[in-house]
Structure 1
Amino acid sequence: MSAATALRVALADDQALVRAGLRALLQGLGVQVVLEADDGQTLLDGLLAQPVDVVLSDIRMPGLGGIQALQQVRARGDRTPWLLLTTFDESDLLLRASEAGAQGFMLKDAAPEDLHEAIVRVARGDTLLQPVSTDPVRARYRFHDEAPPSDTFGEKEVAILRLLAGGYSNKEIARSLFLAEGTVKNYVSTILDKLGTRDRTRAVLKAITLRVI
């Protein structure tokens, strides 16, 4: 990738050594780090003055964490692609990240080439939420609601549920499955009815608990 076309990235992590390592790694891959922050508030302030192609942020930081910073960015109308990194293999973090509007979620032990690919993909509009183990979710929610669904799920409904679990919007699901957005909305309504839930996050949690996905 040439300097003229290099992606411009904001990097946020409270550990200076981690930031330095990621900066060196990204620069070696042809990615420009044009903004650095050690907490979410500094990141938010910096983004007002320095637009970037992708935000690469740790989830857990003192004060304002990565997910909270993302929520505030989205609330002010900023749609910059956001890739969250964490050392914790926790499925509820994946769900919280997708619900907040993250385009990407990866563990920090990802291979450098996978991180680079993730940055490139979210910059062009893809959603890349790396699957993590669903066992903790099942363990946490198994006693909350194990009532069976009111009906079985078709292949298309299962596919939509999996995309919902990945944080895809109705528009993104429609594009991925070559459906009209209105058709996807109808599918989602049917899925919620079958699972007896009123929102997408609870539907995903219950679908995981019942091993629908």
Structure 2
Amino acid sequence: MSVLRIALADDQALVRAGLRALLERQGITIAFEAEDGQALLDGLARTPVDVVLSDIRMPGIDGIDALLQLRARGDATPLLLLTTFDDSELLLRATEAGAQGFLLKDAAPEDLRDAIVRIAAGDTLLQPVSTDPVRARYQYHTADAPQERFSEREVAILRLLAGGYSNREIARALFLAEGTVKNYVSTILDKLDTRDRTRAVLKAITLRVI
């Protein structure tokens, strides 16, 4: 795999310096740094990268607003949002805005590197989210409830999807073939009448499937 190039956005210079040192030791190149969302947008217009690593809370244009503007101008660069707050509302906003990942800043260094590599490869990484705020935000009517019950295996796979695990990782965890997991995921999406994994997880939480 070629060296990953990332953009690093955080309004605190010390945090950026720490992340730069940490990631460069792990073989990741910092293409440029930005102190706020506007600087990030300007930098990405000039310098393409593999992944954007951005704080959520920044003055002016924050990480989520920058993400919305990126997507609006057709820039699909994968974006991993960092936050010091275990805030379900932020995770929901980030997901709706089109973030590929959401990670707490106190994550272990190897977890951060793994998240960047996975997102660059096309995975989605959402840390498990506390369920009550999700249920409060997404109220589904009885008519939205799944028409079929979920098997124990499907519930187990849904829980792993909620943790951001890929099909390959789920297969390894449950001792299944990767193709079998893919079939299970398709069935789960059909039962929940959703078109992607993130919406399936949010709906499953709301409907108390998981």
With structure 1 as the length reference, what TM-score do the two structures score? 0.74
Match of 1:105, SS state, is strand
**Residue in 2 that maps onto 1:171:** none
Structure 1 residue corresponding to 2:6, chosen from 6, 9, 12: 9
Deviation of the 1:99 alpha carbon: 1.9
Percent identical residues: 64
Q: Which amino acid aligns with 2:25?
A: G
CA 1:53–1:39 in 2, change beyond 3 Å: closer, same or farther?
Answer: same
Cα deviations across residues 39-82 of structure 1 (Å, max 9, x unaligned)?
11110110011011110001111111111111111122211111
SS at match of 1:84: strand
Mapped to 1, the partners of 2:24 and 2:108 lie a distance apart of 15
Q: In the alignment, what sits opposite 1:59?
A: 56
| Residue-by-residue CA offset, 1:14-43 (whole Å, 9 max, x unaligned) | 111111111111111111111111111110
Are residue 212 (structure 1) and residue 209 (structure 2) matched? Answer: yes
Aligned to 1:42: 39
User: Could you list the runs of 5+ residues in structure 1 that have no partner in the other structure?
Assistant: 169-174, 194-199
Deviations 1:144-172 (A, max 9, x none): 56758374433487556975896x9xxxx
Q: Secondary structure at the match of 2:8?
A: strand
Alignment CA distance shift 1:176-1:76 (3 Å): farther
1:22 match: 19
**What is aligned with 1:178?**
182
What is the alpha-carbon root mean square deviation over aligned residues? 3.7
Shift of 1:190: 5.3
Matched residue, 1:191 = 192
Offset from partner CA, 1:164-203 (integer Å, 9 cap, x none): 896x9xxxxxx99435xxx95x97575259xxxxxx9887
Structure 2 residue matching 1:116: 3-state secondary structure: helix
Distance 1:116 1:79, change over 3 A: same
CA gap 1:165/1:37 in 2 versus in 1, 3 angstroms: same
Please, which of 125, 139, 150 is the counterpart of residue 154 of structure 1?
Answer: 150
Q: Tell me if the contact between 2:140 and 2:207 (Cα under 8 Å) persists in the aligned partners.
A: no
Structure 2 CA distance for partners of 1:81 and 1:13, relative to 1, 3 Å:
same
Give the partner amino acid of 2:57: R
| Alignment pair present for 1:31 and 2:28 | yes
- Structure 1 residues 212, 77: CA separation in 2 closer, same or farther (over 3 Å shift)? same
Match of 1:76 among 73, 80, 94: 73
Distance 1:165 1:146 in 2: 25
CA offset at residue 127 of structure 1?
1.4
Q: Which runs of 5+ in 2 are unaligned?
A: 167-178
The match for 2:95 among 93, 98, 104 is 98
Distance 1:204 1:178, change over 3 A: closer
